[in-house]
Each structure stands twice: as C-alpha cells, then as structure tokens.
C-alpha cells in the first residue's frame, strides 16, 4: 500500500484519471479494480461474506473520484482483508472456494490477490512516473530501524 499511497500523493486528480489511450486503464480505475478484487477474493471468498462486486464498473468509471478517497477506500478494504486472513487457521488453507467462477482454495485465493495486487501496483508506479517525471525512490521507503534489523539478521548484501 505504501507505494500506491506515495504514487497518488504525487499526482493531481486529473493525473490519477489520465489514460494513455482508450484501451488502457487509469490509476483511478486500477484503484477501484484492486478494491473490488480484494473485496471479492479475500473478504467475500476467503471470509465467506456477502460481496456484490460489479467488476465492469471499476473499468467504466470516469467521474474523477478524488485520488485520496480512492486510496482511503482501498486501505479500508485491505485492512478488512487482513482481518480475514489473520483469522484463517492452517487447516483451512486447503478449503475449497468458488470465486469469480474459479475453483480454488483459501491459499490459492490469497496467493491470487497478492500476485494481482503486485501486478497492478507496478502499473500504478509506471503511470505515476510517466505523469510526474519523478524518481519515486520507492526502494528507500524502509525505515532505518528496518535496515538495522535486516543487517542484524545477516542480510547485508540483499538489494531491495
């Protein structure tokens, strides 16, 4: 989430909704899509809670919802998903789920969302760099204490 927050903070709302062409998504659409995906797959699928996702509307939206609101809504959904995942016990990871017409397991659903979130975060970073022309220095976001802990664990040669 920190990379997404950093990106949206760098942009105007017009930049958040900019599209390279008609076949491409804006950052705004990607944020709506991530919220829908996490809600459907983790909160709804893994957590077995009601979820009335309207997937196509995530891509059709053009109303320029403010970027800060999009991030806030996504964070709320991610936090809800974290609660769902924390409640999963080891034995239920192989439990079957049917999500978005796919047969999977609890573990498969979690893995899908991690991969999906990562892919779209990369797209958001790229679009932000294109619009802002800035080096976002995302690799430097870790705190000094995190770097100290990494050094203590012996991972001094690892590039992040």
User: Left if phi > 0, otherwise alpha if psi is -120 to 50, otherwise beta: which for 132?
Assistant: alpha
The pTM score is 0.85
pLDDT tens digits, one per residue of 77-106: 999 999 999 999 999 999 999 999 999 999
Confidence of residue 24 (pLDDT cuts 50, 70, 90): very high
Lowest mean pLDDT among 16-20, 45-49, 79-83, 132-136: 132-136
Average pLDDT over all residues of the chain: 90
| Portion of the chain with pLDDT greater than 90, in percent | 82
CATH of domain 2-152: 1.20.120.450
Q: How far is residue 106 CA from its own chain's centroid? A: 18
């Amino acid at each position: 989430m920190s990379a997404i927050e950093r990106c949206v903070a760098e942009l105007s709302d017009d930049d958040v909704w900019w599209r390279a062409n008609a076949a491409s998504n804006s950052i705004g659409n990607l944020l709506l899509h991530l919220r829908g995906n996490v809600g459907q797959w983790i909160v709804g699928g893994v957590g077995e809670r009601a979820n009335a996702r309207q997937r196509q509307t995530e891509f059709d939206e053009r109303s320029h919802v403010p970027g800060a609101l999009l991030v806030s809504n996504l964070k709320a959904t991610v936090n809800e998903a974290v609660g769902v995942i924390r409640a999963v016990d080891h034995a239920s990871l192989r439990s079957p789920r049917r999500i978005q017409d796919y047969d999977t397991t609890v573990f498969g659903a979690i893995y899908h969302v991690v991969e999906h979130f990562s892919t779209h975060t990369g797209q958001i970073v790229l679009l932000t760099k294109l619009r802002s022309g800035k080096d976002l220095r995302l690799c430097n976001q870790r705190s000094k204490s995190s770097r100290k802990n990494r050094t203590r664990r012996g991972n001094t040669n690892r590039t992040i």
